[in-house]
Amino acid sequence: MTDRETPILEFDGARISFFLRAGEANVIPGLSFAIKPREALGLVGESGCGKSTVALAIMRYLGRAGRLTAGRILFQGRDMAELDAAGLRAVRGRRIAMIYQDPMSSLNPVMTIGRQLMEVPMIHEAIGADEARARALAMLGEVKLPDAAAIFERYPHQLSGGQQQRIVIAMALIARPALLIMDEPTTGLDVTVEAAVLDLVRELRQRHESAILFISHNLGTVAQICDRVGVMYAGELVEDGTVRNVFSAPRHPYTRGLLDCLPTLGRDKHSAALRSIPGQVGSPLARLPGCAFAPRCGFAEPGRCTTAPIAPRELAADHRVQCVRVAELPEWRHPPGDGGDDRGEATGPAALTMRGLGKIYHQSQGVFGGGGRSIAALRDVELVAERGRTLAIVGESGCGKSTLARILSGLQSASAGTVDLDGTAIGGLAIDRRTTALKRRLQMVFQNPDSTLNPSHSVGYAIERALRRLKGLTAAQARRQTGRLLDTVKLSGDFARRRPHQLSGGQKQRVAIARALAGDPEIILADEPVSALDVSVQAAIINLLTEVQAARGATLVFISHDLAVVRYLADSVAVMYLGHVVEFGPAAAIFAPPWHPYTEALLSAVPEPDPDARRDRIVLDGAPPSAAAIQRGCPFATRCPRKIGAICDDTPPPEQLIAGTHRIACHIPAAELVALQEAGPPSARPASTEPIDRVLAS
């Protein structure tokens, strides 16, 4: 019989508001949930749902404007609000510890790592410096940081993002807390680094017996770590239960909507369009009387859903849903997967061809630019984008994809090689040397919706200016055409008068797309256009891009680090690592074996929200070597789990043609690669014995 253990953390009808000049922003109207000891609960939701507020409320760190206005937050059975200052300090860092989103700014830049670690036990357990130092060194080993003694003396800016996050984790666990709060701990880290960190968390969890509150917008990561999950929308817990129940049989319309709009590795655009959730989250300053999701819900019934607050209902054991119509909703099915291959291997005419493209940066040192190192951002890139299709370029940070985008767009010029745009050579042409006609043919959509539009200009001005510069239209013509373009991106005409600060992220990206379409480009270059958007908005923008491309027969070059999105969108894919293209081919071929070992690792690292899809993961050691180091052999040799020997370090790998246009740059012959990969992931590699300085070389 299970005894009733006191939950480690319990929210009991908690109501949290922020008191601003504009009024009371009731971020969390009434939250109730509990975490049992040693359990891992995930909280998922999009931006503005209040999940970070929950984390800070537990620590009583809501700032001057925030307050718990009703309900209680209990930790180990005791009301947190009753703690005095000393009591609060005793809990913070010792019994409840927190891990933050941006590790670089969470660490003190002028204090060594070692000292920051030592502080925790020294404050709470009143031990001496020597013992604290020993504990800190031991902890560094536990988080798998090599060469602990050297890292001890370093400063945060000398470490990579993944290493910094491990330090933050070490700092949290060193006092053996009972509850660990992780607020978006892997957002902003590369996929492979994220996989390694998540692995570490799983391992540490076994050893440390802390309960975990894991907050993330990424459903996949939550599915990897947590036992139970709660879905938050506008400050309310709309559904919670075990990961299995919630993700394979979601009952709340919002949860279903979220899962519907997620591109997973199994979906592509030919099977079904992504379903997005229309509308936007409401403001906490003006909460609706009924269900907060009702304005966007396809099943909402005026009256039942919109007049009174909805009470949560217990469905099966441990599965609560906050929806009055839950019993009446149709059954939900996972979105269809591989709808069969696309138009087959037949290749179309090439719109954009890149041959031997290279780019070298010089980092100068010294007063007048003497000395310094050269960094090879791109090496010998050879790619083809077919007309009317989508070429996706995927890779992690430092792989050179952004540099490639800048060269194609003309914002930078290549050091070597050619780029051919359907007959016209543009590789050497910086943007200011291209003719207007040429500029029209290739336009770009950027990554960050907050900086893609000039905050001082209205939407109409931005688009009209593009029209007038690129097509030479008069003011009146431009205004008319702006209306038509806004229509294409599904924004109403009166958006022309608005300023960017009045728009949501998704709307800003739509305007950016309209602006890029102003010149009727043949080639649309999209550099991570959806990475900064919420999942539900992402889906809408992806749909828009595919629609626009199909309607205009344009070629889309889509750059991303998100493999699931790439799988959905792309017709052909190029995988990049450290400036090289390691694999290239049609999308269907890329996502099936044989893979380049890097592609293999990348695919296994992608977190999926499907609890059944727990793959064996390949965890890569260390960090990519510095781009300033000169490589003779394969760029991936230092981390490759399938490395065969010295040949990988010394000789550049050959480009093996697998079938049609599919090619892999690897020393292992293709047939052998297929056999190895179908047998399963490689066994764990011995820990890297390279001294930390080589690995950190910056």
Partner 1 sequence: MTVEGKIDLLAAPDRRAVPGIGFAWLRRLAPLLESIPAMIGIALILFWVLGAALAPWLAPYPPNASDLKALAHPTPSAAHWFGTDHLGRDILSRVLWGARTVLTVAPIAVLGATAFGSLVGLCAGYYRGWIDLVITRISDIVLSFPVIILYMIILAMYGSSAINIIAVITLTKAPIIARIVRGITLELREREYVAAAKMRGESALYIMLVEILPNARGPLIVEMCLRMGYTIITIGVLGFLGIGLPPPDPDWGGMVKDTYGMMSVWPHMSLIPCAAISSLVIGFNLLSIGLREIGLRD
Partner 2 sequence: MARFFLKHLLFLCLTLLVVSFIVFVLTEFTPGDVARKVLGAYATQEQVALLTTKMGLDRPVLVRYVEYVDHLAHGDLGYSTRFKVPVKDIIFDRLANTGMLAAIAFAIIVPLSMLLGIAAGMRESSRFDRAIMLFSTVTASIPEFAMGVFLASVFVVALGWLPGTATLTGGARWSVAEQLVLPVATIVLFDLGYLVSMIRASMVEVMQRPYIRTAVLKGMPFRQVIVGHALRNAMINPVTVMLLQINYLITGVVVVETVFAYPGFGRMMLEAALYKDIALIEVGALVAVFVAVLTQILGDLGYMMLDPRIRG
Interface residues with partner 1 (CB under 8 A)? 18, 20, 22, 25, 27, 47-48, 52-53, 56, 61-66, 283-286, 409-411, 431-432, 434, 436, 439, 443-444, 446-448, 451-456, 462, 465-466, 469-470, 499-502, 512, 515, 518-519
452 binds, among partner 2, partner 1, none (CB under 5 to 8 A by kind): partner 1
Q: Based on CB atoms, which residue is closest to partner 2, 112 or 488? A: 112
499 binds, among partner 2, partner 1, none (CB under 5 to 8 A by kind): partner 1
**Shortest Å, Cβ 362 to partner 2:** 19
From the number of C-beta atoms within 10 Å of its C-beta (0-12, 13-18, 19+), residue 64 rates as: exposed
Measured from the CB atom, is 508 or 617 closer to partner 1?
508
Q: In the complex, what is the shortest distance from the CB of residue 202 to partner 1, in angstroms, rounded to a whole number? A: 29
Helices 129-142 and 161-173: crossing angle, nearest 10°?
A: 130
CB 416 within 8 A of CB 356: yes
Q: Is 33 helix (H, G, I), strand (E, B) or coil?
A: strand
| Main-chain dihedrals φ then ψ at residue 100, nearest 5 degrees | -105, 175
Taking CB within 5 to 8 Å according to partner kind, which of partner 2, partner 1, none is near residue 47?
A: partner 1
Is the Cβ of residue 50 or residue 146 nearer to partner 1 in the bound state? 50
User: Which listed range, 7-15, 104-112, 250-258, 443-451, lies at the site for partner 2 (CB under 8 A)?
Assistant: 104-112
The least distance separating partner 2 from the CB of residue 355, rounded to whole angstroms, comes to 39
CA angle 154, 190, 138 (to 5 degrees): 40
CB distance 396 to 192 below 8 Å: yes
Neighbours of 333 (CB within 10 A): 8
CA distances from 334 to 271, 592, 604 (A): 13, 21, 21
The residues in 367-406 that bind partner 2, with binding defined as CB under 8 A, are 367
What is the 8-class DSSP label of residue 685? P
How far apart are the C-alpha atoms of 271 and 273, rounded to whole Å?
7
Question: Does residue 94 touch partner 2 according to CB under 8 A?
Answer: yes
158 binds, among partner 2, partner 1, none (CB under 5 to 8 A by kind): partner 2
Q: Which does 307 bind (CB under 5 to 8 A by kind): partner 1, partner 2, none?
A: none
Q: How far is the CB of 549 from partner 1 (least distance, A)?
A: 19
Q: How far apart are CA 696 and CA 120, in angstroms?
A: 26
As measured in angstroms, the least distance from the Cβ of 150 to partner 2 is 14
User: Residue 376 Cβ, how far from partner 2 at the closest point, in Å?
Assistant: 23
251 binds, among partner 1, partner 2, none (CB under 5 to 8 A by kind): none
Residue 333 near which of partner 1, partner 2, none (CB within 5-8 Å, type-dependent): none
Phi, psi (rounded to 5 degrees) for 9: -140, 135
Over the window 30 to 59, marking each residue x when it contacts partner 2 by CB under 8 A and - when it does not, the resulting string is -----------------------------x
Task: Select 135 or 508, whichever has its Cβ closest to partner 1.
Answer: 508
* 3-state secondary structure at position 198: helix
Query: 214 and 43 in contact (C-beta within 8 Å)?
Result: yes
Radius of gyration of the chain (CA): 26
The CB-of-370 to partner 1 minimum distance in angstroms stands at 14
Task: Name the minimum Å distance from CB 561 to partner 2.
Answer: 24
Task: Please compute, for residue 241, the number of CA atoms within 13 A of its CA located in the half-sphere on the CB side.
Answer: 23
40 binds, among partner 1, partner 2, none (CB under 5 to 8 A by kind): none
Q: Which is nearer to partner 2, 103 or 257 (CB)?
A: 103
CB under 5 to 8 A by kind: which of partner 1, partner 2, none does 53 bind?
partner 1
Residues 166-225 that bind partner 2 (CB under 8 A): 168, 171
- Tokens for 203, please give them: 């391992």
Q: Is 667 left (phi over 0), alpha (psi -120 to 50) or beta?
A: alpha
Q: How far is the CB of 188 from partner 2 (least distance, A)?
A: 13
Number of residues that bind partner 2 (CB under 8 A): 30
Binding partner of 244, given partner 2, partner 1, none, CB within 5-8 angstroms per partner class: none
283 binds, among partner 2, partner 1, none (CB under 5 to 8 A by kind): partner 1
Which of the ranges 83-91, 129-137, 278-286, 564-572 carries the binding residues for partner 2, by CB under 8 A?
Answer: 83-91
Minimum gap (Å) between residue 152 Cβ and partner 2:
14
Q: What is the DSSP letter of 37?
A: T
Helix-, strand-, coil-residue percentages of the chain, each rounded to 5: 35, 20, 45
Is 355 buried (19+), middle (13-18) or exposed (0-12) by CB count in 10 A? middle
How far apart are alpha carbons 276 and 258 in whole angstroms?
8
CB of 106 to partner 2, least distance (A): 5
Cβ–Cβ under 8 Å, residues 394 and 560: yes
Q: Which amino acid is residue 257, in one-letter code?
A: G
Give the torsion through C-alpha atoms of 376, 606, 178, 37, to 10 deg: 180
The distance of closest approach from Cβ of residue 155 to partner 1 in the complex, given in angstroms and rounded to an integer, is: 23
Instruction: Give the phi and the psi of residue 407 in degrees, each rounded to 5.
Output: -70, -45
Distance, in Å, from the CA atom of 219 to the CA atom of 225, rounded to the nearest integer, reads 10
**Amino acid making up residue 314:** E
Should residue 510 be labelled a site residue for partner 2 when binding is judged by CB under 8 A?
no
Q: Which of 90, 137, 360, 629 touches partner 2 (CB under 8 A)?
A: 90
Name the residue among 645, 533, 631 with its Cα closest to residue 577: 631
Q: What is the nearest approach in angstroms of partner 1 to the Cβ of residue 163? A: 23
89 vs 490, which CB is nearer to partner 2?
Answer: 89
Q: Residue 569, interface with partner 2 (CB under 8 A)?
A: no
Nearest to 45 by CA among 54, 34, 33: 54
160 binds, among partner 2, partner 1, none (CB under 5 to 8 A by kind): none
**x/- track of binding to partner 2 for residues 134-173 (CB under 8 A):** ---------------------x-xx---------x--x--
| Cα separations in angstroms, 173 against 47, 103, 208, 462 | 27, 15, 8, 50
Contacts of 353 (CB under 8 A, 6+ apart): 383, 384, 385, 418, 419, 420
> Which pair of tokens denotes residue 2?
């299970």
Choose among partner 2, partner 1, none what residue 455 binds, the Cβ cut-off being 5 to 8 Å by kind. Answer: partner 1
Of the pair 453, 664, the CB lying nearest partner 1 is at 453
108 binds, among partner 1, partner 2, none (CB under 5 to 8 A by kind): partner 2
Reduced 3-state DSSP string for 610-626: CCCCCCCCCCCCCCCCC
Binding range to partner 2, per CB under 8 A, among 84-92, 205-213, 339-347, 427-435: 84-92
Query: What does 456 interact with, of partner 1, partner 2, none (CB < 5 to 8 A by kind)?
Result: partner 1
Question: Which amino acid appears at position 5 of this protein?
Answer: E
Other Cβ atoms closer than 10 A to 613 = 14
* Shortest distance in whole angstroms from residue 340 CB to partner 2: 48
Cis amide linkage into residue 594, ω under 30° from 0: yes
Report the interface residues with partner 2, using CB under 8 A: 59, 61, 89-94, 97-98, 100, 102, 105-111, 119-120, 123-124, 155, 157-158, 168, 171, 366-367
